[in-house]
Amino acid sequence: MPKRTCALAVTEDGSTIIAADKFGDVYFLPLLVTEKGGFNPSIVPEIVTPPPETNSQKAFVPAANDLTVHSQRNRKALENQKRQINKQSEKSEPRFEHKLLLGHVSMLTDIALVTHQERQYIITADRDEHIRVSRGIHQAHIIETFCLGHAEFVSKLCIPAERSNLLISGGGDDDLFLWNWVSGLLLSRVNLKRHIDTVLSRLAGETWSNKQAVHKRVAVSGISHVRLNKDGVAEDIIIVSSEGLVSISTFQNCQTDICSIPALFTFLLTGDNALQHIQTVTLPGNALSHIIHDSRTSAMELKRFLIVSVDSIHKPGSTTAARDDATKETSPLYMYEFQDQLLKSIITFHSSDEGEGLRMEETSGNFTNLLYNLEALRKKDGDTRGDD
């Protein structure tokens, strides 16, 4: 892709990928190509094919040579230049069919596709606290509305499948937001930080070595929806995971640490459009990702499960401190079953890599930043907004 992709979605017919990137652009490209290697013309007419790759670029030739360079420093520079001769330049454009749909003036963070009243919409969120509602692929340049109300970045969007006019969003704010995205109206909000504080207060002693840890900021890392059927009544459950920032203080100094919350939080989406806290599920490690899994045991019975990926290297709550029981095998996956709105642990998946998994010394630097990067979206003092 032209720039680093940060979020993906697939259209309902399974034919097209919608990709949002870090520079605020949204592209679409074929998931299933035609015999000619491109889009289905009935879905995407008049697609522009990128020009074929050519090798007409001139080879690089240093202006200096061994006779004109005398100092040792310049000779080393000339040797480095020679190593670059005829080196293939990086491709600036992908060599497959794609098309720009829309763009933001800020870094995109998430994207959602939804069909409402037989019309398709693309909903995008960005670092500048915006949630933008655009029309579908053919009219993506038309903005229907904005959902404005976040004071910090928006990192995750979730649309309940059976209540397609609603949108749950979360990010760097202390609250989860519930919108009627069709009209752009904020229906309700619920405080997430107080539930996170409860988890971290319990972890403070064991994770930060008996130092006083105060939770300062929230960074929502995941929002999922599942519909349960209880006694013939449908109930919509929202599952949330989060990262954050903690202030760790001792008698002599104070420091901050990026934390990941080793818990999931479930909320009931009520009939009067509010989020009601149901359960805090404590995990054995930091929550990395979670998905919903369905299993039909009979023609009439459908069971819903939640599979959670956890960090088995760091201490629960921390992104820097190693586990005390690092030599003990820790499962990377856990499965929970929904039983009357509550999640019950049923299965632990064990690794089969025979000790070849990641070790603490291999998880520093870029790898840890890859897992825990939401706090970097938060604007620092002096940062300007993209729309200023």
Q: What is the pLDDT of residues 68-120, one digit of tens each?
A: 777 777 788 878 777 766 555 555 566 778 888 999 988 999 999 999 988 99
Question: Tokens for 162?
Answer: 């059976």
State the pairing for strand pair 317-318/333-339: unpaired
Look at residue 350 in the predicted model and tell me its pLDDT. Answer: 62
- The pLDDT of residue 251: 46
Inside any domain, residue 197:
yes
Strands 25-30 and 254-260: unpaired
Residue 177, helix vs strand vs coil: strand
Over the chain (388 residues), what is each successive 10-residue block's mean pLDDT? 88 89 90 61 48 53 70 80 62 72 91 93 94 92 94 95 94 96 96 90 66 76 91 89 76 67 94 94 92 78 87 84 68 88 79 51 64 85 51
Tell me if 199 is assigned to some domain.
yes
Q: Is residue 250 part of a domain?
A: yes
- pLDDT at residue 352, rounded to an integer: 55
On whether residue 307 sits in a domain, the answer given is: yes
- Total domains in the chain come to 1
pLDDT of residue 231: 76
Beta-sheet strand order (sheet of 333-339)? 286-296, 302-311, 333-339, 342-349
For 208, phi and psi rounded to 5 degrees?
Answer: -110, 30
Q: Is the dihedral of CA 181, 184, 185, 186 positive or negative?
A: positive
Residue 349, domain member (yes or no): yes
Within 10 Å of residue 255's Cβ, how many Cβ atoms? 11
| pLDDT score for 382 | 55
| Burial zone of 119 (CB within 10 Å; 0-12 exposed, 13-18 middle, 19+ buried) | exposed
Element (H, E) at 82: helix 72-83
Sheet strands side by side (includes 185-191)? 154-158, 166-171, 175-180, 185-191
pLDDT, residue 276, reads: 95
Tell me which residue range forms the domain holding 232.
Answer: 192-378
Q: Report if residue 211 sits inside a domain.
A: yes
Query: Which pLDDT score is estimated for 133?
Result: 96
| Residue 34 belongs to a domain | no
- For 14, other C-beta atoms within 10 Å of its C-beta total 9
pTM here is 0.79
